[in-house]
Structure 1
Amino acid sequence: MRIWILRHGQAEARAASDPERALTEDGRTEVAKVAALLRDQPIDMLLASPYRRAQQTAEVVRDVIGFTRGIATVPWLTPDDEPSLCVDFLAERPESNLLLVSHQPLVSQLVSLLVEGNRRGHYPLPTAGLACLDTDFVAAGLARLSLLTNPADLAQHNKLC
C-alpha cells in the first residue's frame, strides 16, 4: 500500500473557530504546486479532515490531479486525533494508493508511528507538506518513507535545475 499524507495549505489566522479557518490564496498556490507531484499517481481514495482548510486542500488536489471520485470526509483526521485510529482504518482498507489530508500534529505523529513504531519521531510537515509511505502491511513501524517534501523544497529544487 502507498499512503500519501498531506498537511493542509496555509490558512487564515483567524475565523469564528479553528475548524472554520479557510485557505489563503498563498495556501491554494502551495497546495497546487505539491499536488502536481501526484498527477501520475493512481490515487484510489482521497480522505480529508472535516475542517474547512483540509476540505479546501483536498478540493485543490482533486482539481490538479483530475480525481473524479468524491472526497471522503472522516472525523478522525483532525489535529489532535489519535494516530492509531488512522492506522486501524488503513489496515482494513483494500485500496492500494490512499491520500490523507490533515493537520499538525497528527500528520507528523502518523508518519512517525507508521515508520518508527512510535509517535515521537520528528517529520517536518509545514503547510502543504507531503509524505509518501510504502508498506506491505499497515502496522506501526513497518512503513518506509519514500518522500518528504514541501513547497519550499520544490522551489529550491526548481532553482537548482
Structure 2
Amino acid sequence: MKLWVLRHGEAELRANSDAERRLTAQGREQVLRSALHLQGQPLQAILASPYVRAQQTAALVHGTSNLAPPVTTVDWLTPDSDAQHVIAMLEKLELEEVLLVSHQPLVGILVALLEQGHRQQPAPLGTASLAELEGDWPLPGLMTLKALHHS
C-alpha cells in the first residue's frame, strides 16, 4: 500500500469557526507545489476532512490531474480525530494508493504512528507538507516513510 498524507495549505487566521477557515493565496500556491509530487501516481481515492481548507486543498490536488478520482469527504479526518480510528478506516477500504488531506495534530501523529508504532514524536508536517508512506498494511509501525516533502 502507498499512503500519501497531505496537510492543508496555509489558511486564514480568522473565520466564524475553525472549520470555516479558507486557504490564503499563499496556501493555494503551497498546495499546487505539493501536488506536483502526486502527478502520475495511480491514486484510487482522495479522502479529505470536511473543513473548508482541507476541501479546498483536495480540490486543488484533484484539479492538477486528469486521472485523479473525485474527492470523498470523511468525518474521521478532522484535526482532533483519533489516529487509531483513521488506521482502522484505512484497513476497511482495502485500497493500494490513497491520499489523505487533513490537519495537525492528526497528520503528524498518524505518520509517526504508522512509521514508528507510537505517538511520542509526531512527524513535522508544516502547511502543505506531503508524507509518502509505503507498506504491506496500514498498521502502526509497519509502514516506511519514503519521503517528506515541504512546500
The interval holding the TM-score normalised by the smaller chain is over 0.9
- Give 1:31 shift: 0.2
In the alignment, residue 4 of structure 1 is paired with which amino acid? Answer: W
State percent identity of aligned pairs. 46
Between the aligned partners of 1:135 and 1:69, the Cα distance in structure 2 is 22
- Give 1:105 shift: 0.3
Q: Secondary structure at the match of 1:4?
A: strand
- Give 1:40 shift: 1.0
Please give the per-residue CA displacement for 1:47-88, whole angstroms capped at 9, x wherever unaligned: 000000000000000011224532110101000110001100
Q: How does 1:78-157 map to 2 (within 5 A)?
A: 78-151=78-151
Q: Secondary structure at the match of 2:4?
A: strand
Instruction: Evaluate the alpha carbon distance shift between residue 18 and residue 24 of structure 1 in structure 2; reply closer, same or farther with a 3 A threshold.
Output: same
RMSD (Å) for aligned C-alpha atoms: 0.9
In the alignment, residue 93 of structure 1 is paired with which amino acid? Answer: L
Please give the per-residue CA displacement for 1:101-150, whole angstroms capped at 9, x wherever unaligned: 00000000000110111111231100000000001022111000001111
User: What is the aligned partner in structure 2 of residue 158 from structure 1?
Assistant: none
Between the aligned partners of 1:146 and 1:72, the Cα distance in structure 2 is 25
Question: Any conservation in 2 of the 1:36–1:65 contact (CA below 8 Å)?
Answer: no
Q: Which runs of 5+ in 2 are unaligned?
A: none
Question: Which deviates the most, 62-71 or 35-44?
Answer: 62-71
Question: Which deviates the most, 116-125 or 7-16?
Answer: 116-125
Question: Any conservation in 2 of the 1:50–1:74 contact (CA below 8 Å)?
Answer: yes
Structure label with greater radius of gyration = 1
User: What is the aligned partner in structure 1 of residue 46 from structure 2?
Assistant: 46
Between the aligned partners of 2:69 and 2:115, the Cα distance in structure 1 is 29
User: What is the aligned partner in structure 2 of residue 70 from structure 1?
Assistant: 70
Between the aligned partners of 1:126 and 1:101, the Cα distance in structure 2 is 13
For these two proteins, the number of residue pairs brought into alignment is: 151
TM-score, normalised to structure 2, is: 0.97
Q: Which runs of 5+ in 1 are unaligned?
A: 152-161
Question: Any conservation in 1 of the 2:3–2:97 contact (CA below 8 Å)?
Answer: yes
In the alignment, residue 79 of structure 2 is paired with which amino acid? Answer: P
User: What is the aligned partner in structure 2 of residue 13 from structure 1?
Assistant: 13
Between the aligned partners of 1:66 and 1:42, the Cα distance in structure 2 is 11
